[in-house]
Amino acid sequence: MEEKTYAMPRIGDKAPEFKAVTTQGDINFPGDYKGSWVILFSHPADFTPVCTSEFMTFASMEKKFNEANCKLVGLSVDGLYSHIAWLRTIKEKIEYKGMKNVEVTFPLIEDITMEVAKTYGMLQPGESSTKAVRAVFFIDPKGIIRTIIYYPLSLGRNFDELYRVLIGLQTADAFGVALPADWRPGDDVIVPTAGSCGVAKSRMEGKEDMKCYDWFFCTKKLDKEKVLGTILKK
């Protein structure tokens, strides 16, 4: 029989659909999450140290992600009972960097067949053919993949960066702007590039309420309160 091939999902694609068993019951993805942002992320294996540190961090920040209309969904190729045992161990026994008694209440998908991991390009054989890499998919309320980040087995993710990406995507959408390197709420944002010679000229003559480094690179102020007030109240 011919082996099934899998195309890597890309930014701008519709998130591939699947049904799965999770630690919080069955889910229909991404249909059950319509209207919310979702971060779908994979980890290599239960009962491993880097993954444990990541799950504790993500669970501790879950409320913050939820307040930005974002739900978390984890996945590994381990089975449901392994997931349950691992999450119980985390809650009952692990104290790490001031976090203890951490309950993971977001769903953790069991993917023993590796079907979801293969569909989402989470299995990268050069790194491991039996464990998913640390993939992170940001999916918008319409079910479109908006950002994909991959980390290897040996490096834990930066969760402040994941939160920054989520807020950045929502800010770019809400205000019709782009965001410069290392942007954080409160920093200046980039206005769309001038689309005519007239606009380029008026910007360079300082006639618009923005700062121009050159005609194609202009920024404006966007208050942190306005950004967070817009995103966190949605």
- Residue 157 binding ligand BEZ, by CB under 6 A: no
The label of the residue with tokens 């993917």 reads 111
Closest by CA to 176, choosing from 209, 207, 228, 222, is 222
Q: Which of 51, 70, 212, 218 is catalytic?
A: 51
Closest by CA to 10, choosing from 157, 119, 111, is 119
Q: Minimum distance from CB of 16 to ligand BEZ (Å)?
A: 24
Question: Which 117-136 residues touch ligand BEZ, going by CB under 6 A?
Answer: 131
- Residue 107 binding ligand BEZ, by CB under 6 A: no
Non-local CB neighbours of 117 within 8 Å, separated by 6+ positions = 42, 75, 77, 111, 123, 132
- Residue closer to ligand BEZ by CB (options 55, 106) is 55
- Residue closer to ligand BEZ by CB (options 53, 230) is 53
Sheet holding 70-76, edge to edge: 25-29, 18-22, 108-110, 70-76, 37-42, 134-139, 145-151
- Residue 74 binding ligand BEZ, by CB under 6 A: no
Q: Give the three-state DSSP class for 161.
A: helix
- Residue closer to ligand BEZ by CB (options 105, 130) is 130
- Residue 200 binding ligand BEZ, by CB under 6 A: no
Q: In this structure, which amino acid lies at residue 143? A: G
- Residue 83 binding ligand BEZ, by CB under 6 A: no
- Residue 212 binding ligand BEZ, by CB under 6 A: no
Q: Give the three-state DSSP class for 30.
A: coil
Q: Which of 20, 21, 27, 45 binds ligand BEZ (CB under 6 A)?
A: 45
- Residue 44 binding ligand BEZ, by CB under 6 A: yes
- CA torsion, points 165, 167, 173, 179, in degrees to nearest 10? -60
Closest by CA to 77, choosing from 128, 26, 114, is 114
Q: Minimum distance from CB of 161 to ligand BEZ (Å)?
A: 18
Count of residues touching ligand BEZ (by CB under 6 A): 9
Any bridge partners for residue 14, and if so which? 144
Q: Which two tokens stand for residue 217?
A: 């690179």
- Separation between Cα atoms, residue 92 and residue 102, nearest integer Å: 8
- Residue 229 binding ligand BEZ, by CB under 6 A: no
Whether 218 is a known active-site residue: answer no
- Residue closer to ligand BEZ by CB (options 57, 171) is 57
- Residue 203 binding ligand BEZ, by CB under 6 A: no
- Residue 31 binding ligand BEZ, by CB under 6 A: no
- Residues carrying an active site annotation: 51
Which parts of this chain interact with ligand BEZ (CB under 6 A)?
A: 44-45, 48-51, 131, 153-154
